Each structure stands twice: as C-alpha cells, then as structure tokens.
Structure 1
Amino acid sequence: MAKPIARVLTLLELLQSGGTRTVSELAGRLDVDERTVRRYVQHLLDLDVPVESVRGRYGGYRLAPGHRMPPLMLSDDEALAVLLGLAAGERAGLTSAGVAGETAAAKIRRVLPERLGRGLDAVLDSLTFTAPAGRPAASGTSARAGADTPPGRPAGAVLLPLADAVRNHRPVSIRYTSADGRRSERTLHPHGLVAHAGRWYVTGTDPAIGADRTFRLDRVVAARTLPGSFVPPTGPDPADRVLSALATAPYRHEVSLRIHGTAERIRPHLPADLARLTELGPPDEEGGEPPWFRAELRVERLDWLPAVLAALDLPFVIERPAELRGLLAALAGRLALSAAEPDPNSRQNGAC
C-alpha cells in the first residue's frame, strides 16, 4: 500500500477513535507536517467522510457526531485477535453466547478478503480448549515451571498456516526456540491447536521419531506448509494430548504422592496438566470409603507444594522426594505457631 494512502487510512482510524484531534497531534502521529494533514483531511472529505473542522484554542478535526462509518480494514493479526476474542470470551462465559456473537463474527468476515476469511475459519475449526465451556482452565503450569517466562501470543503468520495444516492434514515445517534458547527446525504432522491457561500449543506427530510432540506457539518462530498429507491419528483428542504432555514434561523434581479421596476432590488442586492420577484400588462400596490415588508430578520447585497439599484436606502420603516432607513439616510448624494461644505479655499482641 502506498504511504500517502496508508496515512490517510491511519488518519481515518485516529478520527474514528473519538474526540477532537488537533492538527499538531495528527501531524505527529502521521509523521508529516500540518499542511499535509490538511491535505489528507481534504482527501477524506472528497470521499464523503464527514470530517468537521473545530475552531478555537482546542480546535482541530473530528468526525460528525452520530455518523456511522463503514467497517475498518483489518490486518490479519487484528482480524484474528477480534474473532479469537469472541470465541474465547463466549467459551469462558465472559460474553453472551448465541446470536450476538455469531452476528458479530459474521460482520467481521464480510469485510475480510476471501483468503483471510478461510484462514480464520480454519483457526476456529482447529482450536480446542482444555477447560469446559464457561470455566477458566485450572493450571499449576506457572507454579511448577518456577522461573518460566510469561506467555506470549502467537503471530498470525504462524497460527494461520498451522491451522490450515490441521484442517487439511498437511505436514508443516516449523522453526522452534526452546526454553533454554536452542533453535531447531523440524517437520510436524499437526493434530490440533489447543488453548490452555493463557498459552497456545500445537500438538502432533514428529515423523522423524514417530512420537507425539507438543510445542508452545509463542516459541514457534515460523511455520511453512509442506507438500503431501497424512492420516490423522485416533485416540485422545488434542486437548488431552497437550495435558498429558505437560504432566509428563521433564522438570527438576519428580514427586509421588498417595492420596485418599475422589478424583473430583483432587483435581481442583492438582489439575491434569500438573499431575497424573492413577487409581490404586476400587472404592470400598460397603464402607463408603473413597479409593487411594497415586499422584505423580514433575516440578521445577517444591516450595509451593506444601500449601497445595494442606488445601487438599485429604489424607495423603509423600512417597518422594524426602525434601518435600521437610518443607511440609516446616509449614505445619508455622501453622501450629500461628494457631497457638497468644502471649498476653507479647508486644506483638498489643501489650504496653
């Protein structure tokens, strides 16, 4: 797009954001002189855009009050952000479901180029969420990761080709930067895109090793569709594959616990991306006793686990590591000290 045309469109966007904009402000935002701003305003007037000139100390330009502008042009990333925001908001119960969301999405699609519209449809079709509709995803990922970096957002240049490959069962080549900074390029047969706890993942099969792999999309530098096709696998859906991959990822500490309770009581504290649960025996139907479960975790730090175990409010046994027992004992000591009767002679209790 030629620079003058792009700047006229930018001027239109600035005016559509509301209020009166001074000539000097617009000149600074557009990186042009004030005379050029006035020429751009005349271009908009020639296109029947109702730009009003406001005189006075705080004068400048504004759009006519109440005027309904045609839809704005959206870049790939802007359109993607809006449609994904509608989908995620409806999923989490933050926006109204049904007709309003559908009509808003339809209006956006009508003003998009056909190529981009097909790409966004592919993203929405291939995207799954780990949390049930109306509920945010429970996650211990940030706690277990310790010094992990905050999540980034995948670029449209990565998300669109991956979604197309998922929908059409086509292999892709991705360039990836791991958490320790190592860079690699590999081929992937992508099964699906998954949104989990504020992060995006792609899960698929690495044909070079014949095993499933899961990658964070904000660490994918580039994605390119390759010729050919593959047969999608049967078995767990993409969301379950991502949760399983997160629960078995290598970390500094391997933790094993035995917990006496139901999965419904355990999971809110030890979600599926954090711990693998294995039932050790059927419940005692006669006595009404719940079963024992083994919970296996891989975590970078142990200091946050004692508080989680205390919040469980269920009988449990620490199988490993021994270091966790010491941390739990230290927490129990602090809690016992806090629960003790206050010393009336202590200054900390308000004595004079």
Structure 2
Amino acid sequence: MSRPTVRVLALLELLQSGGIRTVAELADRLGVDGRTVRRYVDHLIDLDVPVEAVRGRYGGYRLAAGYRLPPLMLSDDEALAALLGLLVGLRTGLTTADTASGTAAAKIRRVLPERLARRLDAVLESLAFTAPPGGFAHPDAEVLLTVADAVRHRRPLSIRYTDRNGRRGERLLHAYGIVAHSGRWYVTGADPAIGEDRTFRLDRVAGARVLPGSFETPDGLDPARRVLSGFATAEYRYEVTLRIRGTVEHVRARLPAAVAVVEEPARAAGAEPEAEPWLCVELRVEALDWLPPVLASLDRPFVIERPDELRDLVIAFADRLLSRARQA
C-alpha cells in the first residue's frame, strides 16, 4: 500500500472518531501540510465518503451525521485487545451469545498477522478461570436488549420467568438496572404489584416485552449494590447472627456483600472509633458446614448468637483440627 493511501486511511480513522478536526490538527497528526490534508479530503469525497467542511474560527472537517462507516481499522494492539475480550467473555460466561461472539472472534483471528496470533495464543495459555467454559447459562440476546431498552427509557416490563423451583409465571417489573455478577446476568427493579424490590436472573427469562407507561427510579439508586444486598438478605434455611471483633475490610475479605450484612456499632457523639470494634454480621444460608473454616480463617474473636447448630459445627471443626495437629 502506498504512503499517500495509508495517510488517506489514517485521515478517515481520525474523522470517524467523531467531532470536528481542524486542518492544523490533521496536518500535525498525519505529518503533512494543510494543502495535502485538503487533497486527502478530496480523495475521500471521490470515494463517496461524506466529509463536511465546517467554516469559522473553530472550523475544520467532520463526517456527515448518520454516515454508515466502513469496516473498522484496528491497530495490532487494538485487534489483540478486542479478540482477547471476546475470548475471555466466552470463557467466563459474560458474553450473551456463543455464536455471535465466536464468529466475531473468528473474523478478527483470520486477519491477525501470524506473529500477533502467536502473542494471543501465549496470553490465553497463561490465563486461568474460576469457572470452566460454558459453566454459566447465557441470557437470550433479544431478552437482554429488550430489558436494557426498558431500563434506559424507564418503561414497565413484562417477563416470562422460571424460578429456582421450576415454577413458571409472568412477572411485572419496573427495571432499574442490569448487573453482571459472578458470571451471571441479573435485572433488578421493583414489582409494582406487591411494592417490593425484586432481582431476576436473565438466563431464566424466556421472553420479555416492554409495556406502555413509565415510572421514576429512586434517587441515588445503585443497581449493583441492590443486587448484592438482595443476595445477603434472601430467604434461606438458616438465619445466622454473629458478632466479630475486627475491621469491616477484614470481615469483607471472607464474607463479601453478596453473602453477609455487616453493621458497625453505634458510636457516642465525640467518641473515638475503636481500631477493631465488635461488628454485627448477619447471613442467610442454605447450609452451615462451610462457615466454621471461614470463621477460623478470619482469625478474630467471634460470638455465635444464632443458630445453635452452627456453634456445634464450630466445636466439632475445632476438635478435628486439634486432633489432627496432635498426630505424629
């Protein structure tokens, strides 16, 4: 490819990044003079690329609004970043459709220089994932787009949902936001029929449709925090209440926001905060057997307020550790 052709393509790339580009700026970026920039613009116009001249003190060139751009031109690093993002999304379950992600990755992979492809292979071989490929169910792409449209325009939403017990039904939702957490996609919002907040897994939504009307979202809304607190306060078999002496950061390292609610004690006005206060920690869980080793790993004083079954499990766990430590 000749040098002028490369510069014409570079000019198109600068213009398609948006906004008005002055002749001086373009000349500096391309390493040519202003007269050459105007000649390159004429080349683009000859190729039916609608470049507009903007007059005035801050004038220059821009692409016409609504112009459908030709295929993206990516540098080696940009192509590598795009392909790596697609492949990592597939491996971790964050992409919405295997077919679309796979074909897009294949198209980029085919045009990569061999040396760049080898770099990518080396990166992928060095990566590890906490979940195996295909370990999570993906939401339907049309469902995801419909829900996102309802969130953006604050429109009521009707979804066909299957809960964890296999029960199917139609749900009405004022959707506040979409959250990706631990390889799954969730939509959170309010159920106007019962006046309560709800969170639904998108891969369990068989269909979604936007309804007439609109709604207002609460001030200061944080959808991600809402989803995490919903996990921590959901209805499960056991309600656990602990008092742990330590910092919130130390407790959160073992019991994150999606698992537990951590509250600091009230402090009298003017009193200095304790370095390691007694924190109130509440959990709702289906099983208790994973908690004794977590409490041991905290290495902080703790009191079990409820349930008694957890206290028995902790004592049994401590006895096993003591017995094994004494073995020759």
**TM-score normalised per structure 1:** 0.54
Structure-2 residue corresponding to 1:20: none
Residues 315, 282 of structure 1: CA spacing in aligned structure 2 closer, same or farther, 3 A cutoff?
farther
Query: Is 1:174 matched up with 2:159?
Result: yes
Q: CA RMSD in A?
A: 3.4
The offset of 1:329, in angstroms, is 0.8
Aligned residue among 327, 333, 337 for 2:313: 327
The offset of 1:154, in angstroms, is 0.5
Aligned residue among 286, 290, 294 for 1:304: 290
Aligned residue among 252, 270, 273 for 2:255: 270
Q: In structure 2, how many angstroms separate the alpha carbons of the residues matched to 1:287 and 1:190? A: 39
CA contact (8 A) 2:247 2:275 kept: no
Aligned residue among 304, 310, 319 for 1:318: 304
Deviation track 1:255-310 (CA, whole Å, cap 9, x = no partner) reads 00000000010001110011011112449977954111111100000111101111
Task: Give the SS at the match of 1:186.
Answer: strand
Structure-2 residue corresponding to 1:217: 202
User: May I ask how many residue pairs the two structures share in their alignment?
Assistant: 211
The offset of 1:235, in angstroms, is 3.2
Q: In structure 1, how many angstroms separate the alpha carbons of the residues matched to 2:234 and 2:261? A: 11
CA contact (8 A) 2:159 2:172 kept: yes
Structure-1 residue corresponding to 2:113: none
Structure-1 residue corresponding to 2:186: 201
Aligned amino acid, residue 329 of structure 1:
I
Q: In structure 2, how many angstroms separate the alpha carbons of the residues matched to 1:194 and 1:166? A: 12
CA contact (8 A) 1:281 1:291 kept: no
Task: Give the SS at the match of 1:318.
Answer: strand
Aligned amino acid, residue 273 of structure 1:
A
Task: Give the SS at the match of 1:190.
Answer: strand
Fraction of identical pairs, as percent? 61
TM alignment of 1:206-245, pairs within 5 A: 206-245=191-230
Structure-1 residue corresponding to 2:25: none
Aligned amino acid, residue 194 of structure 1:
V
Structure 1: segments with no counterpart, 5+ residues: 1-69, 72-81, 93-103, 109-138, 143-149, 343-352
Residues 210, 280 of structure 1: CA spacing in aligned structure 2 closer, same or farther, 3 A cutoff?
same
Residues 321, 339 of structure 1: CA spacing in aligned structure 2 closer, same or farther, 3 A cutoff?
same
CA contact (8 A) 1:282 1:291 kept: no
Task: Give the SS at the match of 1:268.
Answer: helix
Q: In structure 2, how many angstroms separate the alpha carbons of the residues matched to 1:239 and 1:287? A: 29
Structure 2: segments with no counterpart, 5+ residues: 1-69, 72-81, 93-103, 109-129
**TM-score normalised per structure 2:** 0.58
Q: In structure 1, how many angstroms separate the alpha carbons of the residues matched to 2:255 and 2:221? A: 20
